[in-house]
Each structure stands twice: as C-alpha cells, then as structure tokens.
Amino acid sequence: MRKRTGRQTFMLITTAMALHAAPALATDGHIFHGVGAINQSMGGAGIATSIDAIGSNHNNVSSISFLERSSIEFGAELFLPNRSTAGFISGGPSGTVDSNTREAILPNFGLVYKTKGPWTFGLTGVGIAGFGVDYPANNPNSNGIFNPLATPQSAGGFGAIYSNYQVLQVTPSVAYQVTPKLSLGVGFNINWASLAANPWPATVPNASGFPTGAHGASAWGWGFTVGATYKPLNNLALGLVFKSPQWFGSFSWNSQYPDGTPTSFEYRLDYPLIVGGGVSYQPIEPLLLALDVKWINYSNTKGFERENWLASPAGPGLASVQGFGWENIWTVSLGAQYKVTPVFAVRAGYNYGGNPIPSEQQFFNVFAPAIVQHHFTVGAGYEITDHLGVNLSYYHGFSSEQSGPFISNGAPGFPSINQPVPGTLVTNRLSENSIAAQVAYKF
C-alpha cells in the first residue's frame, strides 16, 4: 500500500461527517423516549396510560378519551448531552475530541377537550427528534496525539465538525368512545424539521473536498397516527398504536466547495414508522404501573435505509455517503406513579432502546452516535388547586460506547470502496441528562 497523502486521508475520513443524525436531542435511535415531564418521568410509557394530555395524545390518540377532564398543558425541557469521538490509525495519529455541551431548550404543549358525548378532541405540539454535535478542530502535534477526524482540512482532516437537526410535530386528533370500555382515535401529524451539517458528505465532492451545509435548511412533512384503547377492567387498560412514516420534502442548500466553486444539493430525511403496544395496571388505587413496547422501522426510512459510499464517475475517492445505514430497533418503557396523597404524586421509569448502528456503520455516524440504550427517569407532580398542577422530571441516559473501522472510499492507496481500512478505529461515545417542567390546567 502506498503512503497516504493528506488529500487521500481527507477523502477517506469524510465519512466521519456522514449524516448529521447525532441524536444530541434524542434517546431511542434519534427519537425522544418521552414527551413532557409527566410522560418522560414514566420512562415514556404512555400508549395505555391516560394521565396527561401531552403524553396521551402523542403516544396514542385514542387514550385521550379516558382522561378524567379536559386540560391544557405547557412544558419545557432542558437537554444536556455529552458526546465525544475518537479516531485511531495504526502507526499514525490517535486522539479524542469532545463536543461542546450544545444544550437545548424544548417547549411543548397539549390540549384535550372532552365533550359531553363520546367525542374527545386533542392537540399537541412537541419536539419528537433531533441531534447536534460541535466538535472542535485539533492541530497535529509532534507526538501524534490528535484525532485525525478533527485535523484541519489543510492537513487532511475536517477541522471543526458541526451538525444541528430538530423535528417538531403538531398533531390535531379526535377520539371516539365506541363503548365505555373501547376508544378509537386518529390524528393528523404536521411536521417541521431543520437540518445543518458542516461539511456535507452526502453529495459528490470536488478536488478540494465536500461542500458545507452549515446554514440550516428546513422541510415540511406529514403523516398520521391511529390507535385503540380498551379497558376490560376499571383498573386495567390495553393500547395499540400505529404511527405512519412521517414523509418530508427534501432539504435543499445553495452552497460552495472549499475552493469556492458554487454548488447546490438536496437530501431527503423522513421519520420512521412506529408500531407499539402498551398496558397499564392499577393494583391498588394509589399505584399505577405501565409498560410499552415499540418497533421502530429505520431500515425502510428515506435517509436511514441506505449505507456506505456511492462511487462517483468523477474518479476514485470522490465518493459520497449514501445514508445512515441504521437497523430496526425495539424499545421498552416501564413506568410507575404513586400518589402519596391525593394531590402529590411521585413517578419513576426505565427506558431501553436498541442500538440502530452496527459496528461497520459507526464510521458513517460520527455525527450520529445514536447508541444510548438505557435511561432512568424520576419525577413528581403537585396539584396546587383542583384546576392547577405542576410537574417536574429528570432523566439520565447512561453512557454508551461503540466502535468500528474506517471504511475506504476507494481512494488510491486504500482498499477497494466500502472495505474496512486495516488498523483503523472510530469510537463514538454518548450520554444524556435532562430536566423538564410541565404545568397543567384542568377544566
């Protein structure tokens, strides 16, 4: 194998930028495990758990029929992720860079109106997914302790690595109580997303490298949710939900290559189909237990389903990244609420989400370390009056680490395209913390 030039190294490690999916605002893959302080503190379990407007309407539109009263709710979440990426080349440089904190504040709201008949209407506006990393550049030093992924472009790397992605969803819904025990519901999902990444590897580079997508592009999307909730007993509820894919238009950028050559490009990134089931059980009146299981279909979702490099007729090594290469995952949410008094409740939960990124795709997901799998949640709520209540929650996503080799883009001196490069390793790390508050007014 010939000695690697700086440009060849640059073209090889461009995959480290590969698609912006880093879930700095996410837990199960790039999807939030829960929405609102109440639902989050229950580990995200809400398919059969009718205890708040935000969590019920988002998780299963039919469950709003079984809320005790109409309500309007407002909340906000402060999200604090910790991320780092390490690059290793045998006989060459190795090192780690940490992302800036990139904390995010996420607002949410919910409204449920119960009529005197069998109809109940709902409306929620929530953040449902997102990411963001901000890795600084590092300069090579004489002893080789630096991350080759964050080396300045003049030295064959990327320099500072940046991404920011967020998805917001508004869902008007209606539920119909067929019988006192059975409710059916449907919701129409209106979505807005913003995406930025620098550099942008999902388009063909020129001799100077990849263009930038650092200025945010936006896209609108739509989808639907259908659900059913059945209460065979007063203290037992079962729920099923089907969330269609959220189909988005393409993000588009007017940009330029590092040498100043103008270019434009597009990318489509949808939100995956989700199927879930849940159960809630009240063994004694103060205690509510909940369990949800969901299947998330990444492998058939635009932007996530394709993997590796796409060779370019422009020449060897001028390949572009095709997609995230994520796999389908299962998630499990467990939650418990105990009413210490009629006006004071404590909550706790646990959420597990599978890792959607196989080891051979870690290199393509330096901006997408969606690898946290275990989350612990706690919270509490207090009813100030018969109409007004406040709720708080905290959760921690335990640190996870996954590794995989650099994948060759076919540049001269490297293995053939999409083959691992011997003696190389990329390691992604991620952990998360979040606090949230939610105010509810019942009427």
DSSP letter for each residue of 375-425:
EEEEEEEEESSSSEEEEEEEEEEEEEEEEE--B----TTSPSTTSBPTTEE
Domain count, the chain: 1
Average pLDDT, the chain: 88
Let me know if residue 71 belongs to a domain: yes
Percent of the chain past pLDDT 90, that is, above it, reads 63
Average pLDDT of the segment spanning 60-66: 98
DSSP three-state, residue 43: coil
Which candidate, 307, 443, 283, places its Cα nearest to that of 365?
307
Average pLDDT of span 182-193: 98
Token digits for 51? 């205890």
Structural domain of residue 382, as residue ranges? 6-442
Quick check: is 215 in a domain?
yes
Report residue 20's pLDDT band, with 50, 70 and 90 as the boundaries. very low
Give yes or no for residue 11 having a pLDDT over 80: no
- 246's CB contacts (< 8 A; 6+ apart) are 167, 169, 189, 191, 221, 222, 223, 270, 271
Residue 24 and residue 242: Cα distance in Å, rounded? Answer: 26
Residue 264: predicted pLDDT: 93
Pairwise pLDDT comparison (368 vs 429), residue with the higher score? 429
- Read off the pLDDT of residues 87-118 as tens digits, 9 standing for 90 and up: 888 888 888 888 876 677 889 999 999 999 99
Q: How confident is the model at residue 199 (pLDDT cuts 50, 70, 90)?
A: confident
Residue 328 lies in a domain: yes
Secondary structure percentages of the chain, helix, strand, coil, to 5 = 10, 55, 35
Which CATH number is 223's domain given? 2.40.160.60
The whole-number average pLDDT for the span 274-296 is 98
Query: Does the structure show a pLDDT above 50 at 19?
Result: no
Convert 199-220 to b/e letters by CB count within 10 Å (16 or more is b).
bbbbbbbeeebbbbbbeebebe
The answer, yes or no, to whether residue 17 has pLDDT greater than 50, is: no
In a domain, 1, yes or no: no
223-232, 252-261, 362-371: the lowest-pLDDT one:
362-371
When pLDDT is cut at 50, 70 and 90, the band that residue 3 belongs to is very low
Predicted confidence band of residue 343 (pLDDT cuts 50, 70, 90): very high
pLDDT bracket for residue 133 (50, 70, 90) = confident
Helix (H) / strand (E) element for 55: namely helix 53-59
Mean local confidence (pLDDT), 373-381: 96
- For residue 64, the model assigns a pLDDT of 98
393 — pLDDT class (breaks 50, 70, 90): very high
Residue 285 has pLDDT above 60, yes or no: yes
Contact 107, 54 (CB under 8 A): no
CA angle 182, 344, 112 (to 5 degrees): 40
User: pLDDT at residue 13 above 50?
Assistant: no
Q: What is the pLDDT of residue 153?
A: 65
Q: Is 178 exposed, middle or buried (0-12, 13-18, 19+ CB in 10 A)?
A: middle
pLDDT at 258: 86
155: confidence class by pLDDT, cuts 50, 70, 90? low
Helices vs. strands in the chain: H and E counts, helices first: 3, 20
* Between residues 11 and 282, the one the model is more confident about: 282
pTM score, whole prediction: 0.90
